[in-house]
Amino acid sequence: MKDQSILEMRNIYKSFPGVKALQGVDFTLCEGEIHALMGENGAGKSTLIKVLTGVYEKDEGEIFLKGLDKAAVIRSPQDAQKLGISTVYQEITLCPNLSVAENMYIGRGTGVGQNWKKMNADADRILKSLDIPAKAKQQLSTCSIAIQQMVAIARAVDMDCKVLILDEPTSSLDEQEVEKLFGLMRDLKSRGVGIIFVTHFLDQVYEVCDKITVLRDGKLVGEYAIKDLPRVKLVSKMLGKELDDVSDIRSEAQVYTGEGAGKNVFEAEGLQSNAGIKPFDFHIQKGEVNGFTGLLGSGRSECVRAIFGADRVIAGKVKKNGKPVKISKPIDAMKQGIAYLPEDRKVDGIVGDLSVRDNIILAMQVLRGPLRPLSKAEANKYADEYIKLLEIKTASADTPIKSLSGGNQQKVILARWLLTHPEYLILDEPTRGIDVGTKIEIQKLVLKLASEGMSVTFISSETDEMLRTCSRLIVMRDRKVVGELTGEELTQTQIMNTIAGGDKES
Amino acid sequence: MKKENVFSRLIHNQIFIPIAALLILTLFNLIADPSFFKISMGYNSTGDPVLSGYLITILDYGSELAILAIGMTLVTAASGGQDISVGATIAVAGSAMLRVLCGTNSRPDELQAPIIVAFLVGCLAAMLCGAFNGVLVAYFKIQPMIATLILFTAGRSIAAWINNNELPVINDVGFTYFGGFIPGIPIPTPFFIAVICMIIIALVLKFTTLGLYTQSVGINESSSRLNGLNPAFIKFLTFVILGVCVAVAALIKVSRISSINYSVIAKDIEMDAILAVALGGNSLSGGKFNMAASILGAYVIQFLTTTLYKLNVQSDALSAYKAVVVIILVVLSAPSVREKLSSLGKKLKPQSKEVA
């Protein structure tokens, strides 16, 4: 071990059934350093943290800590805590109905007795020394989320923690609260605590961190000093796309030229939902394919959910063909001719135990209303038509959808919405987790539908897929729309630059 | 080869479960005492011909249960939970009916209002109880068993309060028809009422989308919402429908004795109704349902109860025996057991072929 390093993880392997979550990852943390752990969802950040804190047992590899001669054995979170590794999670894991001091000392008593006076005095002393504006006897739930998080940190500090892990601590904080938290982090850093900071927010990384370790697909991409890695490079490392890879792959598909071409079908102004996105403007033309892009967690799904009324809309106006319409719940949107294929197929898409047929006709049936059920013959006709059209591989229309493969499930959901003949189709990650062949089929279908006059919004984590299908890209960062790219600007480089924002030139 | 297919299709059909239970019970009774199946023609106190025998008892009391099972199936499918206040709300609805029929005098010589008016008032009372449960479950997102625990506890007191804790007695022959026999027809009336309910629910399921909506909400609430459904309202609706079923059962119950005993009427009937749904092979955690299987399940439960009575099991001890059935059902329907059974079945199949 190097002198200043307090934690070294070497060659860590961890797999779950069917997934290699970590493959030979190294990670080094030094004394008095704030170290960002970056990567897209599924890159292995959480798994690495959980291995370190004893939630998961590693398959292979070694963990060294300062002051120990041999590799540390961490089998449970308790082991990790004893070795001075503490974690503060995104969601508060304290007890909101206990006092601040009780939360700081809960589960740490050695005997049966508890000296309440001393406990409160100790707590107040620590809170004061860390400059945390909370009182020991105050009930925790009366504090803001930021303060609660700081109390959790204070608890960790008091437990003599050397390695502090902050897992997405800022996602539910406002800007001022984030500043306060950063102040506390810098204070701890000066005391020699090593901090591992997991976040999606690029701005925050560049504000507070010293080093960045990037993971992708369970593998280590590299460790970089913050000044050596400009944002654009960080984004390209996370996405695994080289900057020079700028070939324009979007084929010139047929463009819709019929009635109403070039006119806005839907327009939104200052739209905002309760899912934590900044108000945004939006418009889509007839026969246009546009897309929201940005890193995961940047708010692209939340935007389309707001348009569809899936989240509660708290502000903004929506117009259809220039006339104002009110969309406050999904059925309103459906009646206006909007269809939405959700991001999470399992949770929001399929109705698992129902047959393929029922899954296909569901949305259309809801639109027809409760008193006009489709007859068995009609339902079968529609189901067979779309099973054939989209080449859905299923034993029969009676098969429960849950027994189909992911790609075929996705096609069923797509069939469900195509059956409603929407004017505007929103596809949120329609190709995630499905095989390449089906991916291309879906992309082709999107372009075909658009050439027939349907407006489509296409969201995908894969930028080349977006480039292939979309003629206009709306770029999001940190839950804000930060740019719009069309025509010549549609290149990988330009997208990455816009996603990264800030110091483009460096 | 084709025969085997028909057989295996039957086994995998949900309705196979209550049919198998029915066959087992029938076989047991055939061996124990074939006189169980004897049906005799007699005359009741008013001199009308009536059929009697154990099977008629099953048809009679099983019908009450079947009516309740219809509503309970829908509640289970949409909310993934059960209504345990059914017995108590029967008391409320029954009490409300008697109150309307009796007026101010608790023992009137003639009815103070037409029976249909009394029934509609009882219906309203039971639907209000259902709506109360439904609001708690659908809008306040309280677990069904906990939400309905309130009326389970309070219902019988409310029923007593409706009639000022007096014991109303009806002196009207027409009113006894609903729980007894219509002159000239030797089959108990509850069976006909149950058949009417079955026809109504069959028509509702055919000509509305209630079935698809309740199943969809029960299987995946989030997805249902994104498909334009209002899951909360659908759950609420199923509780109100159960309320209607409760009112019909209440009419039969109070008609049987032309009076009401607040603390005993329809006691523990909710457990039998839930059991009927489970015996019908429906998952008690909601989702897909088979209405015919539930209804058949109700008659099978009554078959079981009557068999136990025939064996001179004390009514106090009855629940203990039923509990055994519940244990078997619940264990068999547990996902882990089902998985093991199906893998066991796959293992056994090739062997049986070799033997053949």
Q: Residue B13: its chain A contacts at CB < 8 A?
A: none
**What is the pLDDT confidence band of residue A75, given thresholds at 50, 70 and 90?**
confident
Q: What average pLDDT score do residues B14-24 get?
A: 84
Task: Name the percent of chain B lying above pLDDT 70.
Answer: 91
How far does B293 lie from chain A, in Å, by closest CA?
18
Q: What average pLDDT score do residues A501-505 get?
A: 53
Query: What are A14's two structure tokens?
Result: 């961890």
How far does A110 lie from chain B, in Å, by closest CA?
39
Smallest Cβ–Cβ distance between A363 and the set B209, B220, B228 belongs to B228
Residue B209 has pLDDT above 90, yes or no: yes
Residue A2 has pLDDT above 60, yes or no: no
pLDDT of residue A246: 34
Residue B120 has pLDDT above 80, yes or no: yes
Q: Residue B213: its chain A contacts at CB < 8 A?
A: 370
Q: Residue A412: its chain B contacts at CB < 8 A?
A: none
pLDDT of residue B15: 81
Residue B96 has pLDDT above 90, yes or no: yes
Smallest Cβ–Cβ distance between B226 and the set A330, A353, A370 belongs to A330
Residue A161 has pLDDT above 90, yes or no: no
Smallest Cβ–Cβ distance between A370 and the set B209, B223, B288 belongs to B209
DSSP H or E segment with residue A7: strand A5-16
Compare A316 and A69 and report the one with higher pLDDT. A316
Residue of A334, A362, A418 best to disrupt the B interface, most CBs of B under 10 A: A362
Residue B18 has pLDDT above 90, yes or no: no
Question: What is the second-level CATH architecture of the domain A5-239?
Answer: 3-Layer(aba) Sandwich (3.40)
Domain positions in chain B: 52-312, 318-356
Which has the minimum average pLDDT: A370-374, A485-489, B327-331? B327-331
**What is the pLDDT confidence band of residue B72, given thresholds at 50, 70 and 90?**
very high
Q: What average pLDDT score do residues B299-303 get?
A: 93
Does this model's pTM top 0.90? My answer is no
Whether residues A330 and B228 touch (CB distance < 8 A) is answered with: yes
Q: What average pLDDT score do residues A247-251 get?
A: 42
Residue A500 has pLDDT above 90, yes or no: no
Residue B346 has pLDDT above 50, yes or no: yes
pLDDT of residue A40: 73
**What is the pLDDT confidence band of residue A26, given thresholds at 50, 70 and 90?**
very high
Compare B206 and B43 and report the one with higher pLDDT. B206
pLDDT of residue A242: 59
Whether residues A350 and B220 touch (CB distance < 8 A) is answered with: yes
Residue A335 has pLDDT above 50, yes or no: yes
Residue B349 has pLDDT above 60, yes or no: no
Q: Residue A358: its chain B contacts at CB < 8 A?
A: 212, 215-216
Sheet with A264-273: list strands edge to edge. A280-285, A264-273, A313-320, A323-325
Smallest Cβ–Cβ distance between B208 and the set A329, A340, A373 belongs to A373
Q: What average pLDDT score do residues B44-50 get?
A: 80
Residue A253 has pLDDT above 60, yes or no: no
pLDDT of residue B234: 96
Residues of A with CB under 8 A from a CB of B: 308, 310, 329-331, 334, 340, 342, 347-354, 358, 362-363, 365-367, 369-371, 373, 416
Ordered alpha helix ranges (H), B168-209: 173-176, 189-207
- Chain A contact for B76 (CB, 8 A cutoff): no
Residue B34 has pLDDT above 70, yes or no: yes
- Chain A contact for B203 (CB, 8 A cutoff): no
CA–CA distance, B170 with A355 (Å, rounded to integer): 52
DSSP H or E segment with residue A62: strand A60-65
How far does B209 lie from chain A, in Å, by closest CA?
5
The candidate with the shortest Cα–Cα distance to A201, out of A161, A153, A166, A151, is A166
Q: What average pLDDT score do residues B150-166 get?
A: 93
Smallest Cβ–Cβ distance between B207 and the set A308, A353, A373 belongs to A373
Residue of A nearest to B209 (CA): A370
Residue B343 has pLDDT above 90, yes or no: no
- Chain A contact for B12 (CB, 8 A cutoff): no
pLDDT of residue A245: 39
pLDDT of residue A116: 84
CA–CA distance, B27 with B352 (Å, rounded to integer): 25
Compare A262 and B168 and report the one with higher pLDDT. B168
Task: Name the percent of chain A lying above pLDDT 70.
Answer: 92
Q: What average pLDDT score do residues B298-327 get?
A: 87
Q: What average pLDDT score do residues A287-293 get?
A: 90
Residue A448 has pLDDT above 60, yes or no: yes
**What is the pLDDT confidence band of residue A436, given thresholds at 50, 70 and 90?**
low
Smallest Cβ–Cβ distance between A340 and the set B216, B226, B287 belongs to B226
**Count of CB contacts below 8 A, A vs B?**
74
List of residues 6+ apart from A284 with CB closer than 8 A: A264, A265, A266, A290, A424, A455, A457
Residue of A305, A329, A353 best to disrupt the B interface, most CBs of B under 10 A: A353
Smallest Cβ–Cβ distance between B220 and the set A329, A352, A371 belongs to A352
Q: Residue B12: its chain A contacts at CB < 8 A?
A: none
Out of 1.25.40, 1.10.3470, 3.40.50, 2.30.170, which CATH number does the structure's domain B52-312 have? 1.10.3470
Residue range(s) occupied by CATH 3.40.50.300 in chain A:
5-239, 244-337+424-506
How far does A366 lie from chain B, in Å, by closest CA?
6
How far does A162 lie from chain B, in Å, by closest CA?
43
Q: Residue A365: its chain B contacts at CB < 8 A?
A: 209, 212
**What is the pLDDT confidence band of residue B203, given thresholds at 50, 70 and 90?**
very high
- Distances in whole angstroms, Cα of residue A24 to Cα of each of A10, A16, A18, A219, B159: 7, 15, 17, 7, 70
Number of C-beta neighbours around residue A13 at 10 A? 16
Residue A505 has pLDDT above 50, yes or no: no
Range picked from A215-224, A404-413, A423-432, B250-259 for highest mean pLDDT: B250-259
Determine the residue type at A340: Y
Average pLDDT in chain B: 88
Evaluate the CA torsion angle B273, B279, B283, B289 in order and state its sign. negative
Whether residues A365 and B222 touch (CB distance < 8 A) is answered with: no
Dump pLDDT digits (tens) for A453-470: 899 999 987 777 888 888
**What is the pLDDT confidence band of residue A439, given thresholds at 50, 70 and 90?**
confident
- Chain A contact for B334 (CB, 8 A cutoff): no
Compare B263 and B200 and report the one with higher pLDDT. B200
Residue A181 has pLDDT above 80, yes or no: yes
- Chain A contact for B226 (CB, 8 A cutoff): yes
**What is the pLDDT confidence band of residue B81, given thresholds at 50, 70 and 90?**
very high
B217, A358 contact by CB (below 8 A)? no
Q: Residue A348: its chain B contacts at CB < 8 A?
A: 222-223, 226
Residue A315 forms beta bridges with which residues? A272
Residue A167 forms beta bridges with which residues? A198
Q: Residue B287: its chain A contacts at CB < 8 A?
A: 353
List of residues 6+ apart from A267 with CB closer than 8 A: A282, A283, A318, A319, A322
Whether residues A366 and B227 touch (CB distance < 8 A) is answered with: yes
Which has the minimum average pLDDT: A191-200, A258-267, B197-206? A258-267
Q: What average pLDDT score do residues B271-280 get?
A: 91
pLDDT of residue B129: 97
CA–CA distance, A380 with A177 (Å, rounded to integer): 56
Whether residues A330 and B288 touch (CB distance < 8 A) is answered with: no
CATH of domain A244-337+424-506: 3.40.50.300
**Nearest 5 degrees, angle CA B252-CA B255-CA B256?**
85
pLDDT of residue A112: 66
Q: What average pLDDT score do residues B183-197 get?
A: 94
Residue B157 has pLDDT above 90, yes or no: yes
Q: What average pLDDT score do residues A98-117 get?
A: 78
Whether residues A330 and B287 touch (CB distance < 8 A) is answered with: no
Q: Residue B223: its chain A contacts at CB < 8 A?
A: 342, 347-351
